[in-house]
Structure 1
């Protein structure tokens, strides 16, 4: 009996590395996580991934490996150019090293882009060919799917939705920009500006606290204003909101949509859906597996 082919999707994070085995139809056969080595040097992380993959692959028919990276990769998905929250990562030939140690074809991609691929494959975006995923947490990331394919620009760094200028006179951003969307929409910005975490505002909103409901209404206007830029450029069929702040989406999506309607011509938003992402913290792992399948198909 011929064993069915499988791939492994890996989501590399600063504290944990998530692994999942997937069939070509998206069925997840197994998923688990291991602790990220500390310090998370390239050598130690490569060894940890390879050791785990080789253990998983005993008596299996695994054919490829996809890796979601917390940082930029080259356009071919071979080199980890930089990795946020990991130690000493700069132009690491991660795909080459893992291929040597596992014997599996390997491809890398930014973790937010992987999350977008995951949502497009198995999540809230699976019925759409053109969509945007906006992940709102400590920072603001995102992914753009056009005609069913991930958009990464000519050198792999496209789709940095959180770094687009929102207010030219706003707070400085780690990117070197001033007043980026991230500086107005992220959980970090919410805490900086209000002294409360999004989860605290969410709990208050559940109790119908007037100040919290007003906060989320105003926050929705910020989100809608930012989305208007993306809509005019990409005219997506759907926009998905993910990340930790999306837990309170019911309180800010209505005003976000009202803002979109004010700012975007009907012709550019015809049929547009604004929804919450579905896969949560598994989105990056799922998208990494999708990358692996695309690599060998």
Structure 2
């Protein structure tokens, strides 16, 4: 009989990333596929079922954790809303998937999953108070206070990408205007004049002054938003994940500069700001970890 294992799934706006893990967090196998377009609930549900069939054809995993870009209900079975995915309001995804997968499913916010993954095996290990931002199609994130996920009333807290940066800025799918997401997401970067983030990063690495200036401005905007979050949570650590974090060497200096200039010294005492250690793998690892905690063990479950 094979050793017990668990599946972690990270649903993003452009890709679905899956991992098959041992209960101790070792990656046994992985799979990735493009997110269906449009990413309607039904299309995503079937894509996940098919992808799990490819990754785990023998049904070795006894539980599945799924990270999604939005808040869940308190029982972690219903996706309340995913503002950047069409049709995602009160979607009972766990109930849809369980009979198709013949195993239990738990849901969580993707930023919280990334934070749980980094706390378990990555850059947040050993820290109690952490803010994490995922920089990609949108800007998500998670907050850990005193070693526990902070999810707030009905599990909807810690959406750092939706705080207001400029009140008259571009409209956000959340209903806000000028949210941090509108400036720190891929779309926000493109507003600064960059069509392709990978090409912009390569140009900056080659010393292109225009590319370096765009990343510097991006870092200023991101750092302004992070400054507000630091005042609220006074974390030990701010972690940056998601696809854009791969270019963090080009914008972290500007982020640090803004936070230093905007936040009083006592509120940022000992603060570290750095990229996630696990890259885009943090979300699927954290989703798997939450599945173990909630569905397969007697460990105290974490919400979100």
- TM-score when scaled to structure 1? 0.86
- For the 8 Å contact 1:6–1:63, the answer to whether it is kept is yes
Counterpart of 1:92 in structure 2 is 91
* CA apart distance, 1:150: 2.0
Residue in 2 that maps onto 1:251: 250
Distance 1:25 1:171, change over 3 A: same
Q: Counterpart in 2 of 1:242?
A: 241
Determine helix, strand or coil for the equivalent of 1:208. coil
Partner of 1:21, secondary structure, is strand
Query: Measured at CA, do residues 172 and 49 of structure 1 come closer, stay the same or move farther in structure 2, by a change above 3 Å?
Result: closer
SS of 1:76 mapped into structure 2 = coil
Once structures 1 and 2 are overlaid, which stretch shifts more, 37-46 or 141-150? 37-46
Q: 5+ unaligned residues in a row in structure 1: which ranges?
A: none
- The question of whether the paired residues in 2 share the 8 Å contact of 1:75 and 1:152 is answered with no
- For residues 184 and 108 of structure 2, the distance between their equivalents in structure 1, rounded to whole angstroms, comes to 24
Deviation at 1:37, TM superposition (A): 6.1
- Pairing 1:72-151 to 2, within 5 Å after superposition: 72-83=71-82, 88-151=87-150
CA-based RMSD = 2.7
Moved more, 140-149 or 212-221: 212-221
Whether 1:58 aligns to 2:71 is no
User: In 1, Cα distance between the equivalents of 2:51 and 2:189?
Assistant: 38
Aligned to 1:153: 152
- 2:102 and 2:59 map into 1 onto residues whose CA distance is 14
**Cα distance, 1:145 vs structure 2:** 1.8
Once the two structures are superposed, the pairs formed by residues 38-57 of structure 1 within 5 Å of their partners are 42-43=41-42, 45-46=44-45, 49-50=48-49, 53=52, 56=56
Q: Name which of structure 1's ranges 199-208 and 155-164 shifts more when overlaid on structure 2.
A: 199-208
Offset of 1:111 from its aligned partner? 2.0
Please state how far the C-alpha of 1:118 moved relative to its aligned partner: 1.7
Between the aligned partners of 1:67 and 1:132, the Cα distance in structure 2 is 21
Q: Does the aligned pair in 2 maintain the 1:114–1:286 contact within 8 Å?
A: yes
Question: Corresponding residue for 2:186?
Answer: 187
In 2, distance between residues paired with 1:39 and 1:102?
23
CA-CA distance at 1:230 after TM superposition: 0.8
Moved more, 88-97 or 111-120: 88-97
**Taking structure 1 as reference, are residues 228 and 45 closer, same or farther at Cα in structure 2, changes over 3 Å only?**
closer
What are the within-5 Å matches in structure 2 for residues 200-279 of structure 1?
A: 200-279=199-278
Name the counterpart of 2:30.
31
With over 3 angstroms needed to count, the CA separation of the structure-2 counterparts of 1:43 and 1:207, relative to structure 1, is closer
**1:88-107 Cα shifts (integer Å, max 9, x gaps):** 44323222333334443321
Secondary structure in structure 1 of the residue aligned to 2:153: coil
Map residues 10-29 of structure 1 onto 2, 5 A cutoff.
10-13=9-12, 16-29=15-28
Q: Which of the two has higher C-alpha Rg?
A: 1
Assess if the C-alpha contact under 8 Å between 2:5 and 2:62 holds in 1. yes
Q: Is contact 1:75–1:154 with CA below 8 Å preserved after alignment?
A: no
**Are the aligned partners of 1:65 and 1:292 in contact in 2 as well (CA < 8 Å)?**
yes
Q: CA deviation at 1:78?
A: 0.8
Quickly say closer, same or farther: Cα 1:122–1:176, change in 2 above 3 A. same
Match of 2:197 in 1: 198
